[in-house]
């Protein structure tokens, strides 16, 4: 069954590109939307035994044993949700059927790629699907052909390719030591060989490459440019899930399935996490461009995920996973809001905006929900995941880092208040007299995501997620 998550999007792309184009052009969008939503539902609803059973025809056809633990399922859920959101934003962003068609195809390919990353059970296949996702992302960012978008794409390509080389070098070194790239084989050999210079070098190379892909400070240079210059639906996809899958998810996999969370690994994670959390938050304070502020905010929030991993305990990993999901939800929500504002007001410059909420009530309200969740205000989802991370750090004896995380939360509140004041509240800015609420295709995902972040925060299933992924940890 898990193999279907890769094969079905592939089949969909091949299907909609058959010679029956005139009929199939609109089908690409609907098919993509359907598959993304179905994936999200399946990740939550399908019972455990269907995942683990190896007898699925598709899985046998592909001859691979997918990973199917909690980490994978949360990733698949997130990928589905954000993918569906991005497609809806794309529909609002352009009315041209050709562009919608091409976007849907690339989104489907990115979906297949990310699913492959989530399901891969060896390091090289992980790399292959990582590249599939990256290439789809490159094209989606450059989609409109505008100058800033192309500039952002080039920087992303450069850093992404360099990171890939680092990851491959690590794979080569680990292959020498273990003779295999499968997680199982690596896990047997690598942690025991910790002092070996090749293994140590592989660790450093792998972490450096993954830090670049995740946008962790000091390797985050490409991120603000790519996020802000990309067309709206691409930004949603990128910020919501692509960076997380190609970077953070793989990082989580690598430190649990290949290496172990020993002292060195944890020290590196804590360092990277702290830098990201602080520098991202402070940099966000000084931004004028709405999407650029959200980009720096993303860097900061990813820092929380990394700090959670760095705590090194089961609670820490659970917190990291929880925040992985939450951040995807509220950050996508905020980018949808930014897309709505940009489309209706014609600008992302926060100094030229103001009082938008009175004309765009839905966008305004959902953005408040997004901001509250991101800043970690109870009872929204973001509060819980940040709390778990801070608790995990405290319990692990990393009191200083816990304090840093709390400090960053305060700065987060500050920059979001600034954004809310400048964009949504206050007096209606000049030139915005004719402002109307956004296209319904932007409102539906905003409401959906807002509902998810409220629901997860308030609902009883908060406790279920905190039931730990015992199987996926060393």
Partner 1 sequence: MTLPGSTLFALSATVAILMTVAALYCILASRNLIRILIGLELLTKAVTLLLAVAGYVTGRMAVVQTFIITLIVIEVVVIAVAAGVVLGVHRHNQDLDPRKLTNLRG
Partner 2 sequence: MSFDLQSALLLAGLLAAGVWTVMTADLLRSAIGLAVTSAVLTLALFLLGAPLAAVFEISVCAGLITVVFVSTISLTKPWGVEAALSHKQVRLRRFAFLPLLLFAAMLLLRSHAPHLDLVAPPPAHPVQDVREALWIDRRLDLVGQILIILAGVFGVVVLFKTRDAARQEKKP
The single residue among 289, 349, 358, 437 that binds partner 1, judged by CB under 8 A, is 289
171 binds partner 1 (CB under 8 A): yes
Identity of the residue, 98 or 464, whose beta carbon is nearer to partner 1 in the bound complex: 98
Do 324 and 420 touch, CB atoms closer than 8 A?
A: no
Of 14-22, 53-61, 124-132, 210-218: span binding partner 1 (CB under 8 A): 124-132
24 binds partner 2 (CB under 8 A): no
> Encoding tokens for residue 313?
């305990």
DSSP H or E segment with residue 368:
helix 361-375
15 binds partner 2 (CB under 8 A): no
| Dist. CA 277–CA 308, nearest whole Å | 12
Identity of the residue, 171 or 442, whose beta carbon is nearer to partner 1 in the bound complex: 171
Identity of the residue, 293 or 315, whose beta carbon is nearer to partner 1 in the bound complex: 293
147 binds partner 1 (CB under 8 A): yes
80 binds partner 2 (CB under 8 A): no
| Dist. CA 70–CA 307, nearest whole Å | 20
225 binds, among partner 1, partner 2, none (CB under 5 to 8 A by kind): partner 1
188 binds partner 1 (CB under 8 A): no
Do 331 and 375 touch, CB atoms closer than 8 A?
A: no
Of 69-77, 136-144, 270-278, 298-306: span binding partner 2 (CB under 8 A): 136-144
Q: Is the peptide bond before 214 cis (omega within 30 degrees of 0)?
A: no
143 binds, among partner 1, partner 2, none (CB under 5 to 8 A by kind): partner 2
Query: Of 460, 307, 459, which Cα lies nearest the Cα of 386?
Result: 307
For the chain, what percentages of helix, strand and coil (3-state, to nearest 5) are there?
80, 0, 20
Query: Of 203, 304, 218, which Cα lies nearest the Cα of 262?
Result: 203
206 binds partner 2 (CB under 8 A): no
63 binds, among partner 1, partner 2, none (CB under 5 to 8 A by kind): partner 2
Identity of the residue, 99 or 359, whose beta carbon is nearer to partner 2 in the bound complex: 99
288 binds, among partner 1, partner 2, none (CB under 5 to 8 A by kind): partner 1
| Dist. CA 330–CA 406, nearest whole Å | 19
Q: What are phi and psi of 143, to 5 degrees?
A: -55, -40
Query: Of 260, 244, 254, which Cα lies nearest the Cα of 122?
Result: 254
Do 363 and 437 touch, CB atoms closer than 8 A?
A: yes
Do 340 and 291 touch, CB atoms closer than 8 A?
A: no
469 binds, among partner 1, partner 2, none (CB under 5 to 8 A by kind): none
Length of the chain: 474
| Dist. CA 61–CA 64, nearest whole Å | 8
Q: Residue 142 CB: number of other CB atoms within 10 A?
A: 21
Residues 6 or more apart from 246 whose CB is under 8 A from it? 114, 117, 130, 133, 134, 137, 213, 214
The single residue among 56, 154, 191, 441 that binds partner 1, judged by CB under 8 A, is 154
15 binds partner 1 (CB under 8 A): no
403 binds partner 2 (CB under 8 A): no
How many residues lie near partner 2 (CB under 8 A)? 43
Identity of the residue, 111 or 142, whose beta carbon is nearer to partner 1 in the bound complex: 142
Judged by the rule CB under 8 A, the positions of this chain that interact with partner 1 are 124, 128, 131, 134-135, 138-139, 142, 145, 147-148, 150-155, 157-158, 161-162, 165, 168-169, 171-173, 175-176, 179, 224-225, 228-229, 287-289, 292
Judged by the rule CB under 8 A, the positions of this chain that interact with partner 2 are 6-7, 10, 13-14, 62-64, 102, 105-106, 109, 112-113, 116, 120, 124-125, 128-129, 131-132, 135-136, 138-139, 142-145, 175-180, 189, 193, 196-199, 201
């Amino acid at each position: 069954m898990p193999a279907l998550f890769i094969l079905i999007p592939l089949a969909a792309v091949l299907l909609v590109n058959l010679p029956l184009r005139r009929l199939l052009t609109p089908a690409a969008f609907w098919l993509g939307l359907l598959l993304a939503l179905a994936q999200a539902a399946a990740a939550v609803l399908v019972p455990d035994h269907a995942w683990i059973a190896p007898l699925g025809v598709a899985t046998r056809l592909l001859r691979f044993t997918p990973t199917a633990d909690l980490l994978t399922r949360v990733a698949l859920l997130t990928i589905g949700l954000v993918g569906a959101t991005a497609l809806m934003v794309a529909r609002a962003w352009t009315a041209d059927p050709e562009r919608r068609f091409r976007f849907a195809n690339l989104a489907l390919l990115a979906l297949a790629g990310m699913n492959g990353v989530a399901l891969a059970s060896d390091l090289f296949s992980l790399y292959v699907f990582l590249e599939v996702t990256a290439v789809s992302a490159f094209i989606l960012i450059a989609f409109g052909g505008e100058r800033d978008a192309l500039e952002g794409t080039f920087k992303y390509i450069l850093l992404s390719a360099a990171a890939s080389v680092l990851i491959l070098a690590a794979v080569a070194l680990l292959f020498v030591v273990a003779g295999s790239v499968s997680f199982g084989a690596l896990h047997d050999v690598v942690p025991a060989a910790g002092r070996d210079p090749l293994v140590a070098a592989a660790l450093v190379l792998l972490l450096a490459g993954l830090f670049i892909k995740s946008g962790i400070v000091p390797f985050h240079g490409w991120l603000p440019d790519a996020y802000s210059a990309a067309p709206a639906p691409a930004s949603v996809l990128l910020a919501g899930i692509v960076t997380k899958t190609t970077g953070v998810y793989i990082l989580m996999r690598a430190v649990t399935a290949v290496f172990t969370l020993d002292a060195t690994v944890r020290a590196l994670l804590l360092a990277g996490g702290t830098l990201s959390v602080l520098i991202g938050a402070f940099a966000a304070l000084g931004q004028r461009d709405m999407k650029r502020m959200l980009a720096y905010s993303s860097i900061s929030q990813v820092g929380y995920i990394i700090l959670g991993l760095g705590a090194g305990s089961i609670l820490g990993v659970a917190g990291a996973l929880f925040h992985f999901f939450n951040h995807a939800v509220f950050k996508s929500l905020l980018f949808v809001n930014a897309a709505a504002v940009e489309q209706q007001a014609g600008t992302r410059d926060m100094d030229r905006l103001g009082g938008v909420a009175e004309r765009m009530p839905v966008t305004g309200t959902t953005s408040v929900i997004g901001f509250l969740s991101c800043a970690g205000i109870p009872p929204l989802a973001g509060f819980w995941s940040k709390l778990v991370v801070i608790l995990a750090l405290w319990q692990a004896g990393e009191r200083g880092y816990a304090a840093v995380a709390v400090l960053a939360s305060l700065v987060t509140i500050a920059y979001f208040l600034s954004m809310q004041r400048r964009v949504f509240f206050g007096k209606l800015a000049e030139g915005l007299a004719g402002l109307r609420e956004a296209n319904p295709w932007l409102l539906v995902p905003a409401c959906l995501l807002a509902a998810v972040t409220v629901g997860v925060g308030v609902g009883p299933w908060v406790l279920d997620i905190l039931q730990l992924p015992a199987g996926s940890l060393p």
